[in-house]
Chains A and B, each alone.
Chain A
Amino acid sequence: MKKMIFLFSCILILSFAASPAWPGGSLLVKNGTILTVTKGVIPRGDILIMGGIIKQIGENIQAPPGVQVIDASGKFVLPGIIDSHSHIALSGTNETGDVITAEVDMADVIDAEDLSIFTALSGGVTMVHTMHGSANPIGGRNVTLKLKRGRPSDELVVPQAYKALKFALGENPKQANRIGATGPPRYPVSRMGVNAIIRRELLRARTYMSQWDRYNEVSKSKSPPKTLLPPRRDLRLDTLAELLRGNLVARCHSYRADETLEFINLSKEFGFKIACFEHIPEAYKIVPELAGEGIGISIFLDNWAYKVEAAEGIAPMAAYCAQNGILVSINSDSAERIRRLFNDAAKAIKYGGLPEEEALKLVTLNPAIQLGVEKIAGSLEAGKHGDVAIFNEHPLSAYTRCEMTIIEGEVYFDRSQYLSEREEAAKQKKEPKKG
């Protein structure tokens, strides 16, 4: 009997493992004002999503049999919002036990139950780059997730996204704002120290790589010495070696213009790629350098003056940098701000006069490019994933509200359903069942 149960469970497990990944849903969004972001505005159009992928965008599309139709008349349909810098859906943010923690991976601590996922969905967000914190000069690997609430955590991971490693400069890694903290300070406590410790680790990684190269060369030779031993495996340096080999990109938390330039120098010294600078409130001071290197920035629109290095972060920066050749995205870095990223995008019109479509790109296409997922997300185009947000008014209006959020053709947030469930729950509370 026990054997039978064992066999049965084996079959069950195997059949689950063998089943294809979540196939994605099919639905037709009808009669909405479609803001494609890359191909203009369709005043009254339809989007057909089949098996999670956008099959067709246009007018008067007929729903194939069995495909659910969502009426979007009078509403605005846009690509799902992407947050390029977030810390939600994780059961940890900073590994503060050490100064250099390149070996940790946020993919190991995904919390698919995090209520912040729902908060984000209620603001039209479908994808987040969820990152290690900024406590350490070299943090850990980040992970990009689709907010498929209720699905197992590995189904949230976006495999197409860049593999990225978090770096941090300035006040956080030098622990400048730990006012009243007791105990001896840890190295580093200055910007000199932050740069020096990053350089030290990259030099160590270089040596480590050459140790392995030498070992591999000798071990492949015709008669390797019998006493030949491989170098000691170091997971921290393994990660940094991946960065130096170009298999990982750097995402660097930086605030001051000067420290940012020094980090660009480091990247040239060691030949690694910087995908994006995070926060960087002084980016407007070094526009030619950033534009010239083709490095994007992921910023707050106007959250500022919360520390000294954030006291020269100006609201017109997003528009100014975007108009001068820098790939700009607006991030939340917050489980609260994440639900109003579209409001921040609108502010780029107010502060700097960015055209509407460009403003919308700050929270859709631009973060998609920064994450390396622009082939599957960031705009509404046939062939891309069916990640869609529906708003009652233009998403850049202050009076707008997210009505529905769809990921790969599946509805993950539906305000009207939410409201009717709430009403029902309130009724049941008022009239407790007899018995």
Chain B
Amino acid sequence: MKKHILILFSILFIVASLVFGQNETKPYTAVKNVHIVPVVGDDIPAGTILIKDKFIEAIGKDIVIPVGARIVDGAGFYAYPGMIDSYCFLGLSEISSIPATIDHRETGRINPQLRSTEALRPDSMHIPITRSNGITAALVVPSGGLIAGQSGLIRLTGWTPGEMVIKSPVAMHVEFPSISRRGFQREQAPQEEASKQVIELKDWLNKARFYQKRRETAAKNLLLPMPEFDEKLDFLLPVVDGELPLMISVYADKDIRAAIKFVQEEKIKAIFFGVTQGWKVAEEIAEAGIPAVIGSLYDMPPSWEDGYDALYRNPAALQKAGVKIAFSSQSASLAKDLPYHAAKAAAFGLDKREALRAVTINPAEILGVADIMGSLEKGKLANIVLANGDILELRTTISRVFIDGQEVDLSSIYTELLEKYKPRNKEKK
């Protein structure tokens, strides 16, 4: 009996020492001697970032590193917060010409019930490529129709949609009716048709408000009939409540004005997306306090009269007028290029620091997650990118990426295919 107890105790002791021992040392990772670009606050030329579990435990010049912490030597590197893509199709689009691989577009015009994150493919080949360029989170969005559905913010690591979702829904997406040409190829919608659609949109919100009122009164009075469940109206409730922002895709100046009016009349929270002619109405957008997610700059100006560089100088004009801006890739296969949209805007007048903010802290604020990401600060998720230079530069190499405190694999189909064929090519020489 005594023997048994002894064995039992020793087993317990070993297990306990393993468990507690791990807790004491393993959760700490310290990135040492690294040039920190926290985005919020001044740079720290040679500092330490102490990670505990998922979070930044401490950051600064003189940080005491706990004994047994995993040490990452950051000498020669710059540490940036992971970048955030504010509008993309990662995990929803694989090969753009093959409909079987496209899941961000539903049929029909009114689809508030759709949730993009429920169609997410964690195995998308585009995710590791994007991650390896320092982008650690992305808003994956539905598109098309009038009300496209709900977007969600994902971390760019994880085996299942559930493991990847940070926040969902983030916004309800609306393709604002256009009275102007958006681009050269797009068809011109007649003004009447556009105003009809704006009325339709307002009608949906009003119906949702009425639906809510009927439900509330019925809940208080058992004699009143409870209204039938209505899928469309039900999912619009958080919007009319002011809990869920509308992300409104709107491009031309006239349409932006109409959208501002719409937002103010409906008293809803809103984010603009696209805003290609925002520079023409920048003050009005700033006054309305509506942030703007800039669409891909890999596009032509919406009209030749705007000038060849209209898209490139648009972000600077918006930022200078006081609009909070964030960049987006508007893509899946080229989501990795997010930093270069910011740099392109910087080449045409946007302050470089503002360009960096527009892929880090600004998107975090716009998407409502600034408490946990968007900068390197104590208490935030340890989403850290180590690069050999300016993270927005084309020539910079990203060396290591941490998401939620865990170092992630930077290999991708790019590296895998190249490694697969290298031996064959050598042998054949």
Give residues in A with beta carbon < 8 Å to B: 115, 118-119, 122, 177, 179, 284-285, 287-289, 302-308, 310-312, 314-317, 320, 324, 335-337, 339-340, 343, 346-347, 349-351, 392-393, 396-401, 418, 422
Q: Is the CB of B333 within 8 A of A305?
A: yes
B180 CB, nearest partner CB in chain A, Å: 18
The 10 closest A-B pairs by CB, nearest first: A398-B343, A346-B394, A288-B428, A305-B333, A287-B425, A398-B394, A314-B414, A307-B97, A401-B347, A349-B395
Q: Judge whether B299 and A306 touch: CB under 8 Å.
A: no
**Which residues of B, 372-429, contact A by the 8 Å Cβ criterion?**
392-397, 413-415, 417-418, 421, 424-425, 428-429
Instruction: Report chain A residues within 8 Å CB of B97.
Output: 177, 179, 306-307
The reply to whether B418 and A320 contact each other, CB–CB distance below 8 Å, is yes
Residue of A nearest to B395 (CB): A349
Taking a contact as CB atoms closer than 8 A, the residue among A119, A314, A337 that contacts B417 in the complex is: A314
Chain A residues with Cβ below 8 Å from B424 are 285
Evaluate contact between B397 and A350: CB separation under 8 angstroms: yes
B346 contacts A by Cβ under 8 Å: yes
Of B126, B299, B344, B415, which contacts A305 at CB under 8 A? B126
Among A317, A324, A401: residue with most chain B CB under 10 A: A401
Question: Closest chain A residue to B348 by CB distance?
Answer: A401
Q: How far is the CA of A335 from the CA of B185 in the complex (A)?
A: 13
- Complex: A340 Cα to B392 Cα, angstroms: 16
With A343-B394, A349-B395, A401-B348 known as contacts, the answer to whether A285 contacts B421 (CB < 8 A) is yes
**Shortest Cβ distance from A13 into chain B, in angstroms?**
34
Q: How far is the CB of A199 from chain B (nearest CB, A)?
A: 26
Cβ–Cβ < 8 Å partners of B96 in chain A: 305-307
Docked complex Cα distance between A306 and B95 (Å): 5
Q: How far is the CA of A343 from the CA of B389 in the complex (A)?
A: 17
Are the C-beta atoms of A349 and B347 separated by less than 8 Å? no
CA distance A308 to B417 in the complex (A): 16
A289 to chain B, nearest CB (A): 8
Residue of B334, B347, B417 near A399 (CB, 8 A) is B347
* Distance of A324 Cα from B421 Cα, bound (Å): 13
Distance A347 CA – B396 CA, assembled complex (angstroms)? 9
For B81-110 the 0/1 string (1 means CB < 8 A from A) is 000000000000011111100000000000
In the complex, 30 of the A-B residue pairs with CB atoms within 8 angstroms, ordered by the A residue number, are: A119-B308, A122-B308, A179-B97, A284-B417, A285-B421, A285-B424, A303-B333, A305-B125, A305-B126, A305-B332, A306-B97, A306-B333, A307-B95, A307-B96, A308-B95, A308-B98, A311-B94, A311-B125, A314-B414, A314-B418, A320-B418, A324-B425, A343-B394, A346-B394, A392-B347, A398-B347, A398-B393, A399-B343, A399-B346, A399-B352
CA–CA, A346 to B99, complex, Å? 33
Docked-complex contact B95 and A397, CB < 8 angstroms? no
**B327 interface hit (Cβ, 8 Å):** no
B333 touches A398 (CB 8 A): no
Closest to A286 in B: B425
Q: CA separation between A339 and B297, bound complex, in Å? A: 12
- Residues on the A chain within 8 Å of B99, using CB: 179
Q: How far is the CB of A357 from chain B (nearest CB, A)?
A: 13
- Is B298 interfacial (CB 8 A cutoff)? yes
Chain A residues near B417 (CB, 8 Å)? 284, 312, 314
Question: B40 contacts the other chain (Cβ, under 8 Å)?
Answer: no
Whether A316 touches B418, Cβ cut-off 8 Å, given contacts A305-B95, A346-B395, A397-B395, is yes
Using CB atoms and an 8 Å cutoff, list the residues of chain B in contact with chain A. Answer: 94-99, 125-126, 129, 298-300, 304, 307-309, 332-334, 336, 339-340, 343-344, 346-348, 352, 392-397, 413-415, 417-418, 421, 424-425, 428-429
Q: How far is the CA of A320 from the CA of B419 in the complex (A)?
A: 11
Q: A315-B414, A350-B394 are in contact. Are A400 and B333 (CB under 8 A)?
A: no
* B394 and A349 contacting across the interface, CB-CB below 8 Å: yes
- Pairwise interchain contact B395-A316, C-beta atoms closer than 8 A: no
A288 B394 Cβ-Cβ under 8 A: no
Complex: A339 Cα to B299 Cα, angstroms: 10
State the Cβ distance, A149 to closest chain B Cβ, in Å: 13
Query: What is the bound-complex CA distance between A343 and B347, given in angstroms?
Result: 12
Give the Cβ gap from B348 to chain A, nearest Cβ, in Å.
7
Beyond A288-B425, A393-B347, 17 extra complex contacts between A and B, CB < 8 Å: A285-B421, A289-B428, A303-B333, A307-B97, A312-B417, A314-B413, A335-B300, A336-B300, A340-B298, A346-B395, A350-B394, A392-B347, A396-B394, A397-B393, A397-B395, A399-B343, A399-B392
A418 cross-chain contacts in B, Cβ below 8 A: 307-308
Residue of A nearest to B298 (CB): A336
Identify the closest chain A residue to B99 (Cβ).
A179
Instruction: Report yes or no: B344 in contact with A398, Cβ–Cβ below 8 A.
Output: yes
Q: Say how far A59's CB is from chain B's closest CB, in angstroms.
A: 28
Residues of chain B lying within 8 A (CB to CB) of residue A351: 414
* Cα of A288 to Cα of B427 in the assembled complex, Å: 9
A57 to B339, CA, bound (A): 36
**A311 contacts which chain B residues (CB < 8 A)?**
94-95, 125
> Which residues of A lie under 8 Å from residue B428 when comparing CB positions?
287-289
Chain B residue numbers with a CB within 8 Å of A303 are 333-334
- List residues of chain B with CB within 8 A of the CB of A285: 421, 424
User: Which of A306, A316, A397 interacts with B414 by CB under 8 Å?
Assistant: A316
Contact of A336 among B126, B299, B336 (CB under 8 A): B299
Are B414 and A307 neighbours in the complex by a CB distance under 8 Å?
no
Q: Of B298, B309, B395, B429, which is within 8 A of A288 by CB?
A: B429
Neighbouring A residues of B347 by C-beta, 8 Å:
392-393, 398-401
Query: A320 CA to B97 CA in the complex, in Å?
Result: 28
CB distance from A348 to the nearest CB of B (A): 10
In the assembled complex, how far is the CB of residue A131 from the closest CB belonging to chain B, in whole angstroms? 21
B224 → A minimal CB distance (Å) = 50
Q: How far is the CA of A288 from the CA of B424 in the complex (A)?
A: 9
| B343: A residues at CB distance < 8 A | 398-399
Q: Which residue of A lies closest to B341 (CB)?
A: A398
User: Whole-angstrom distance between the alpha carbons of A315 and B417 in the complex?
Assistant: 11
- Bound CA–CA A324/B348 (angstroms): 37
Q: Are B340 and A343 in contact (CB under 8 A)?
A: yes
Q: Which residue of A lies closest to B412 (CB)?
A: A314
Q: How far is the CA of A122 from the CA of B340 in the complex (A)?
A: 18
A289 to B396, CA, bound (A): 32
CB distance from A427 to the nearest CB of B (A): 15
Q: What is the CB-to-nearest-CB distance from A362 to chain B, in angstroms, rounded to a whole number?
A: 13
Interface centre among A305, A312, A393, A397, by most chain B C-beta atoms within 10 angstroms, is A305
What chain B residues lie within 8 Å of A177 (beta carbons)?
A: 97
Residues of chain B contacted by A179 (CB below 8 angstroms): 97, 99
A360 CB to closest chain B CB, in angstroms? Answer: 12
**How far does the alpha carbon of A317 sit from the alpha carbon of B419 in the complex, in Å?**
11
A169 to B413, CA, bound (A): 24
Expressed in whole angstroms, the Cα–Cα distance for A106 and B389 within the complex equals 45
Rounded to whole Å, the gap between the CB of B354 and the closest CB of chain A is 13
A27 to B268, CA, bound (A): 60
Bound together, the chains give a CA A119 to CA B334 distance in angstroms of: 22
Complexed CA–CA distance, A277 and B334 (Å) = 24
Most buried by A among B300, B307, B309, B395: B395
A315 to B129 alpha-carbon distance, docked (Å): 10
Question: Closest residue to B420 on the A side, CB-wise?
Answer: A285
The residue of chain A having its C-beta at the shortest distance from the C-beta of B311 within the complex is A336
Q: Is the CB of B418 within 8 A of A396?
A: no
CA A212 to CA B67, docked complex, whole Å? 89
Pairwise interchain contact A307-B394, C-beta atoms closer than 8 A: no
Residues of B with C-beta under 8 A to A312: 413, 417
B421 touches A284 (CB 8 A): yes
